[in-house]
Structure 1
Amino acid sequence: MLADEEETSVQAGTLGANIHLPGEWLSSLVGFIAAALPGWRDDPKRPAQVGETGLTAQLCARLNSVSRHSTGWDFLQFRREEPDDARAGRSIDLVVAPSGALIWISGREYSEYRTLLPIECKRLPTPSGKDRDEREYVFSQFSSTGGIQRFKAGHHGAAHARAGMIGYVQGHDIPFWHAQLDAWIDGLVATAVQGWSADDKLVLAAHYGATRIASLQSTHKRDAGREPILIDHLWIEM
């Protein structure tokens, strides 16, 4: 969908095509990613994979293929392990950026050098190991590796008002993990961990039993006086 433009031509591979999009377009982008998840997981040609890094590499390749062949999405690219816009020493698991176009959203310009949406990817459950916290999707007591924790602290996505997280659900189903995250956040609140409240809980937006995916959202206050951040969570049972 284009806004404030009567005619706009998108030429893949050629920077300079200006695309003006409404602020809510990011919701459509999240929906596009969600729609691609089941086909990626169920692709018979996809090599078996369990680890987070391997799964994210596969998903990134799939999203690039799907976007390239989808009308209205072919001006996007997906990249892995990109430096954070505000903290270049930290890497984002997966980012979305323009490809061959300049995109304007709510008065802000995005090019192939500026991330549209930063996305963290996490396994549920967290792999066991030294200095690994089972609550790592949310928080880690050993480091700043907690997924939501990074966004709250501004270690990831400080330049963004919206971000994404993808959960590779393994071992249990989506309702189990939603309840488990609620319990973990309740525990952080009960032990008075600074900056955490019941407002940090995830709200289930949609759960599709047939394809075994779910969409959830959460909003979090951030440190250093930054505006709150909205996180879209896409979970897929592997």
Structure 2
Amino acid sequence: MLADSDGVNVQSGGFSPDLHRPKTWLHQLITFILEELPSWRDRGGRPTGDSETQLTSQLCAHLNGTTRKSPGWDVLQFRIEEPDETKLSRRIDLVAAPAGEVIWIEGRRHDDFDTLLPIECKRLPTPKGKNRDKREYLRVANGSTGGVQRFKAGLHGAAHEQAVMIAYVQTGGIVSWINRLDFWIRALSRVGISGWSLDDRLNLVSHDTNLRIAVLSSEHERELNLNRIELRHLWVEM
């Protein structure tokens, strides 16, 4: 299992001794989530539906079931619509958190009530509707519901320097959306939208055309004097 690759013995069960993990363990966790996306998508008996709320709820249930049966990952739980740790009035779509354990990462303590990894989920394309912006994965012209925008502004994940965005690609392919988002970021930079530059571009890390999943990465300056945040973008073609 990926969880065992750092050479640290993993103890599961109720309130075992504290677990200490390097920061790179979060990347292993992100890879675990990525690898489960096609299994969840193709799972027999998964209810049909295409709304973001429904899909994220299904994904959360699948991840919880999988972690319970996966040695090394059974120290985790996933929850939906969690209050942000800094902006309590804001809700994060999905979070990974310890389950009956205390997990230390880079000197920071996390228990059941803490978020290990904040995850924002978006549909591609953005559903049509009043006041919806087609660039909602990135930002919206009037409001603060843009996915990347929330992290850049410190409205989501201000207590973290690593976060994830999951894209449910419902029409068009991954390559098409990579090109489209890159065009939008270039346009935002070119017209001088505050806080946006070419440094916000998404970089392709891997693309599995058979499983129809991809990983992209980006790093962003943030407001409120926060440190830069690294986003991993996990995309799955539905």
- Say whether the fold is shared (TM-score over 0.5): yes
Q: Report whether the alignment pairs 1:10 with 2:12.
A: yes
Alignment-derived partner of residue 235 in structure 1: 235
Distance 1:4 1:39, change over 3 A: closer
Match of 1:218 in 2: 218
Question: Using the alignment, how far apart are the partners of 1:211 and 1:2 within structure 2?
Answer: 24
Match of 1:172 in 2: 172
Which residue does 1:75 correspond to in 2? 75
1:22: Cα distance to partner? 1.1
| 1:1-238 mapped onto 2 (5 Å cutoff) | 1=4, 9-11=11-13, 14-238=14-238
**1:17 positional shift:** 2.8
- In structure 2, stretches of 5+ residues that fail to align are none
- The Cα of 1:49 is off from its aligned counterpart by 1.2
Q: Distance in 2 between matches of 1:37 and 1:164?
A: 13
CA RMSD of aligned residues (A): 1.3
Distance 1:181 1:4 in 2: 38
Following TM superposition, by how much is the alpha carbon of 1:9 offset from its aligned partner in structure 2, in angstroms?
3.1
- Indicate the SS of the match to 2:59: helix
Distance 1:21 1:190 in 2: 41
- Given residue 57 of structure 2, which amino acid in structure 1 is its aligned partner? A
Query: Which structure 1 residue ranges, 5 or more long, are not aligned?
Result: none
Percent sequence identity over aligned pairs: 51
2:102 and 2:12 map into 1 onto residues whose CA distance is 10
Deviation of 1:187 (Å) = 1.1
> How many residue pairs are counted as aligned between the two chains?
235
2:215, 2:10 → 1: CA distance? 31
Give TM-score scaled by structure 2 length: 0.96
Cα deviation code 1:71-128 (max 9, x no counterpart)? 1000100000000011110000000000010001111100011100000000000001
For residue 53 of structure 1, report the CA deviation from its aligned partner. 0.5
TM-fit CA distance, 1:16: 4.7
Q: TM-score, normalised by structure 1?
A: 0.96
1:28-80 deviations in Å (ceiling 9; x for gaps): 00000001011110012101111100000000000000111001000100000
| 2:11 and 2:72 in contact (8 A); partners too | no
Give the whole-Å Cα distance in 1 for the aligned partners of 2:218 and 2:60.
23
Q: Cα distance, 1:2 vs. partner? A: 8.4
Q: CA deviation at 1:8?
A: 5.7
